[in-house]
Structure 1
Amino acid sequence: MWSLFVTILLLYYGVITWLPTILVNQGYPAYKAYLFATSMTAIGIAGVLAAAWLVEVVGRKWVIGASGFISSLAMVLFTMQIETPALARIWILVFGFASQVVIPAIYCYAPEVYPTLLRASGFGWASFASRIGASLVPVIFGTWLWPTLGLTNTFSIIGSLVLFSIIIMVFFGPETRGKALDQRESGDWYNNRD
């Protein structure tokens, strides 16, 4: 659970923090760079609404897995299409939507995987780990990865970490959709991974 929190929010805050700078460095005017960031955030509202519906219809694990993968892939494709503003904008919008599906889904799923006695602490520690990871974004992303490896490789590495975390969740995490929290106490969740 912690790896999901850390990797997804590392990706999200990396984009939120650095997107205007990335675009300006690629020759975009500053106002367009901020319009990209604003449009990414605006479409995220639809992503949050979609997440609220999807976690109940499809299930938490699968929503997290699909939207986490799509948000990572969108940023890799964005870096490959950055020279074409129309395509770059499409990938930013895809990222904005998918990232705002995955983040609320994680916040829904995370407390449910901990037993009642540990629920608040487990969720709190997972969230704390993500904040530590997010606080390191300026160093990891802006000082180390991007200048050394370039944008595409940077987002490919972060996307690979997200994918690794998703794979762990898919194989080892329970599906909590439609389950009562008291079923967690009896261990029934781990007998049916869906």
Structure 2
Amino acid sequence: MNYTYYGMFLWLPSVLSEKGYSLVHSLGYSLIMTLAQVPGYLTAAWLVEKWGRKRTLVTAMILAGLSALGFGFAQNTAWLIIFGLLLSYFMLAAFAGTYIFTVEQFPTHARATGMGWAAGFGRIGSAIAPFVTGWLLGAQLAYGWIFGIFFAFLLIGFFVVLGLGYETKGYNIG
């Protein structure tokens, strides 16, 4: 998730500019898309208690991945904004689910260490993604391929969470 988030949102104004939008429009559209993060985060914060941590997380991850694909293949302004809003919304929903789900995968006495390692590993993706994305953009790789890579990373995370984690809502692992 960190790879996708930092790979996309740090380069979003440049991607929009390369698609022919002025700097003002690129920054404005980026701001509009980023605003969808707040309701995404709040929705997931509510859903983890009503629907479950794992279900909220995997749903948000797969929908973020599909939104990334839609954004990469969008052919006009309306679809760019729609898929950008969806991607932004579901990425932050996935992050909200991740924070509670990940920490609860560890016994209480090991939660700080476990979460620290998990967050640290995620930061590797955060650090690498802007460089790789910039390199791919400079190599003139089609946007569908670049956003397909974001989709692939989210899909891998989806299957990891689906296969390895267990639902922790209402379960005390002490």
Q: TM-score, normalised by structure 2?
A: 0.93
Alignment equivalent of 2:63, drawn from 47, 54, 70: 70
Partners of 1:176 and 1:145 in 2: how far apart?
40
**Are the aligned partners of 1:65 and 1:170 in contact in 2 as well (CA < 8 Å)?**
yes
Give the structure 1 partner of residue 32 of structure 2: 39
Q: Which runs of 5+ in 2 are unaligned?
A: none
1:163 partnered with 2:151: no
Tell me which stretches of 4 or more aligned residues in structure 1 moved more than 3 Å: none
**Are the aligned partners of 1:146 and 1:154 in contact in 2 as well (CA < 8 Å)?**
no
**Are the aligned partners of 2:41 and 2:93 in contact in 1 as well (CA < 8 Å)?**
yes
- 1:39 counterpart letter in structure 2: I
Partners of 1:93 and 1:47 in 2: how far apart?
10
Q: TM-score, normalised by structure 1?
A: 0.84
1:117 Cα deviation after fit: 2.7
Alignment equivalent of 1:178, drawn from 167, 170, 173: 170
Partners of 1:168 and 1:133 in 2: how far apart?
16
1:135 partnered with 2:127: yes
Partners of 1:132 and 1:167 in 2: how far apart?
20
Give the structure 1 partner of residue 51 of structure 2: 58
Q: 1:34 to 1:145 in 2, by over 3 A?
A: closer
Partners of 1:10 and 1:162 in 2: how far apart?
9
**RMSD of equivalent CA atoms:** 1.5
Give the structure 2 partner of residue 116 of structure 1: 108
Partners of 1:146 and 1:165 in 2: how far apart?
27
